[in-house]
Structure 1
Amino acid sequence: MIYTRPDGIQLASPVPMGSYSPDDVVFLLKDLSAIALERGTEDREEAIQGGKHYSEMLPIEYQPSEPYLRLYEETLRGTARRVATAAAVVAEQIMAKRSGDVVLASLARAGTPIGVLIKRYMREFGDGRNPAHYSISIIRGKGIDDNALFYMLQKHPEADIQFIDGWTGKGAIRKALIQACDKFKRDYGIRLSDDLAVLADPGRCSETYGTQEDFLIPSACLNATVSGLMSRTVLRDDLVGPGDFHGAKYYREWTAEDRSNAYVDEIARHFNDVRTEARNIAADLLRRKDENATWKGESDVRRIQRDYGIDDVNLVKPGVGETTRVLLRRVPWRILVNDRDNPHLAPILMLASERGVPVEEYPDLTYSCCGLIKPLGRDER
């Protein structure tokens, strides 16, 4: 079947990408693997703060040290059951909210391993459900990949789309999704649910979540090697045409270091044990749905901006997942923590030590931690 845009432009066909089985996920992304898109951390940071959009280039992928990899494996073993519970809670809510067919649309790339877990749970415990699962791009400041949406809507005309991500920080992607769905309705007359299902929602900005606690999801510790060997997504007019999906690179050369399938396998093996607990938690969350999405985390971000004299809110990255990203691919200035003894912070404290980044305790923090990106021109530490 040929899939098209409303203006008649033919959509590109999905190409095999990533190290997951196609039974787990199909990437609706254009393969840009042959193009040199990476820029050094300092150079990229200067470009971003100078006005260049982050989606026009890629960071050089962090190569973890052996001690850090050992810490990652320890963290995975220690949290696998908890992550399995959160994934199962989300899956149970999705099945309860959407009685008909559903398509899972993970937001690349942090959402992809989470979407794989949710699909596996639904396939095993969903009474015959085996939802299609795609990984698609959404980019802050530019929006969602409309071509990916058109492809899913035409290939699965009877299904609802459920968006999935890993966690929330201050809610930037949640806001981007709301805006994207509103724009899609204005432009094409098609209303999509902007519900974003996440494992952890410390920002209090999602209506479907596994927990609101800011705990460490191990996939946040690594980059491509725990996300199907995929890069972040790229959107540049000279690389992405009218019928193309947003772009990404598939790092095939790191196959020997890939942990993507081992990660989801380790977590999924706990599903049967946590199933009853997850159903009970999900049922309770569904009863308390009016308490969701309070956006409480935004007040913390405003307080941090004020206390540290930061004008650009995009330089404040709250939560374990976002703080880890700051340390892996930005120029960190400070790391704020609610408690240095918090066991979820061990990988963050190791990365901060490796990079010589100061760690400060910050009282009454809603999140476990917060990463501050160094503003250009500010030399003090």
Structure 2
Amino acid sequence: MSRFGSYSQSDCIFLLKDLSSIPIEKSTEEREESIQKGIHYSEMLPIEYEPSEEYMDLFYKALNTSKRKVAIAVGVVAEQILKKRGHTIVLVSLARAGTPVGICIKRYLNNVLHVDVPHYTISIIRGRGIDENALRTIQNRYPTKDIVFVDGWTGKGAITKELSTSIDRFNRKEGTNYSSELAVLADPGYCSTLYGTREDFLIPSACLNSTVSGLVSRTVLNDTWIGKDDYHGAKYYRDLEKKDVSNMFVDTICAEFPTIQYEINQALENNSREEAADFRGWTSVNKIREEMSINSLNFIKPGVGETTRVLLRRVPWKILVKSLEDPNLTHIYLLAKEKGVPVELYPTMIYSSCGIIKKVENEGI
């Protein structure tokens, strides 16, 4: 397979069909209207948001401020993976937020713990499941290895549940015994048992789109371009190479590894006393839905990462924040100001912030 994405293949191999030459993008407004009319979000792509210089400055500041915290979360989850799942594993990141996180975990395992594991990125789509063709490729290449799925963070747990359903179905069909346990850096929704932290903090890679994810788009599943034997599709935005910070991001996080072992050990000790995965985020989101008379949970995107995505890729109605003084939300305020989206205080939720998608007039979801 020819190189896809701007990462080295020693860091990550994308199992995705290259749709780079096909015009699939729709404007944010067109896309939102299509989604709310019932067209699945995976059948088209948003136009890549071009961040302003002011916004990029915020990204660099956020990275500088949180690089140590992110690196500690990487170390914590990597140590947990090895302890719980052993050495004979393949890391499989969920495109695309999982990819930079998976690379950081792979490098920690290799550079700090001296365990070299393969790392792939494959697609999973809410409502449509995981890419079974990609999963089958990994199964054929590593028949004796276990798979550890990786993502960046949890929101309300929709992808966690999608993964569980998909892997149960795959195991029944293929006679495999893969675990659907999802390893994440941040688990504010209490959806996982393999996590770096339960704090809803800003992972700076959430601030940007393809330019921090190997220049790879969101994944696409559309009968027009994806056949039954194809991998799910994506685009490789080679024209954005000058704006690409993908490798700089993972290099910056991984440069912290030599000096954080004490903090990792402390966090591992604390994590052992944490509560189980009880999906309390789902309960918190349901409360918001009821109080604001929102007709679908799909309109509510909780957590700093998901709020950022709403502002970058959807048509927001409003942004809810737990505290107006949270320094993790500076980029949220800037994006909301740029797009004219109101920000409201909502102190009773378990998340730092929550993005609410605007309902298109007279249309259902």
Query: How far does the alpha carbon of each residue in 1:129-165 deviate from its partner, in whole angstroms, 9 at most, with x for none?
Result: 1110001000000000001111111111121100000
The one of 43, 57, 78 aligned to 2:65: 78
**Does the 8 Å contact 1:230/1:251 carry over to 2?**
yes
Q: Which runs of 5+ in 1 are unaligned?
A: 1-13
**Does the 8 Å contact 1:95/1:126 carry over to 2?**
no
Matches within 5 A, 1:106-145: 106-127=93-114, 129-145=115-131
2:137 paired with 1:151: yes
Superposed displacement of residue 272, structure 1: 1.1
Matches within 5 A, 1:25-40: 25-40=12-27
**Does the 8 Å contact 2:112/2:257 carry over to 1?**
no
Partner of 2:351: 367
Partner of 2:86: 99
2:256 paired with 1:245: no
Query: Which amino acid is 2:333 matched to?
Result: L
2:201 paired with 1:228: no
Partner of 2:244: 258
Matches within 5 A, 1:330-341: 330-341=314-325
CA distance in 2, matches of 1:63, 1:247: 22
Partner of 1:326: 310
Query: How far does the alpha carbon of each residue in 1:107-148 deviate from its partner, in whole angstroms, 9 at most, with x for none?
Result: 000000000000000011223x11100010000000000011
Partner of 1:314: 298
**Does the 8 Å contact 1:144/1:180 carry over to 2?**
yes
Partner of 1:349: 333
2:151 paired with 1:177: no
CA distance in 1, matches of 2:330, 2:128: 34
CA distance in 1, matches of 2:110, 2:228: 34
SS in 2 for 1:175: helix
Superposed displacement of residue 189, structure 1: 2.1
Partner of 1:48: 35
CA distance in 2, matches of 1:89, 1:358: 36
Partner of 2:180: 194
2:55 paired with 1:68: yes
Superposed displacement of residue 192, structure 1: 1.1
Superposed displacement of residue 284, structure 1: 4.3
**Does the 8 Å contact 1:15/1:31 carry over to 2?**
no
Q: Which runs of 5+ in 2 are unaligned?
A: none
Query: Runs of 4 or more off by more than 3 Å in structure 1?
Result: none
| Higher mean C-alpha displacement, 47-56 vs 370-379 | 370-379
Query: Which amino acid is 1:260 matched to?
Result: S
Query: How far does the alpha carbon of each residue in 1:4-56 deviate from its partner, in whole angstroms, 9 at most, with x for none?
Result: xxxxxxxxxx4310001111000000100000000000100000010000000
Superposed displacement of residue 206, structure 1: 0.7
CA distance in 1, matches of 2:281, 2:78: 24
CA distance in 1, matches of 2:243, 2:223: 32
SS in 2 for 1:193: coil
SS in 1 for 2:325: coil
Partner of 1:165: 151
Query: How far does the alpha carbon of each residue in 1:338-362 deviate from its partner, in whole angstroms, 9 at most, with x for none?
Result: 0011000000000000000000001
Query: How far does the alpha carbon of each residue in 1:298-321 deviate from its partner, in whole angstroms, 9 at most, with x for none?
Result: 121111101111111100000000
CA distance in 2, matches of 1:20, 1:188: 31
Query: How far does the alpha carbon of each residue in 1:206-229 deviate from its partner, in whole angstroms, 9 at most, with x for none?
Result: 110000010000000000000000
**Does the 8 Å contact 2:319/2:354 carry over to 1?**
yes
Query: Which amino acid is 1:114 matched to?
Result: V
Identity of aligned residues (%): 55
2:252 paired with 1:274: no
SS in 2 for 1:141: coil
Pairs aligned (count): 363
Q: What TM-score do the two structures reach when normalised by structure 1?
A: 0.93
| Higher mean C-alpha displacement, 260-269 vs 95-104 | 95-104
What's the RMSD between the two structures over aligned residues? 1.3
Query: Which amino acid is 1:91 matched to?
Result: A
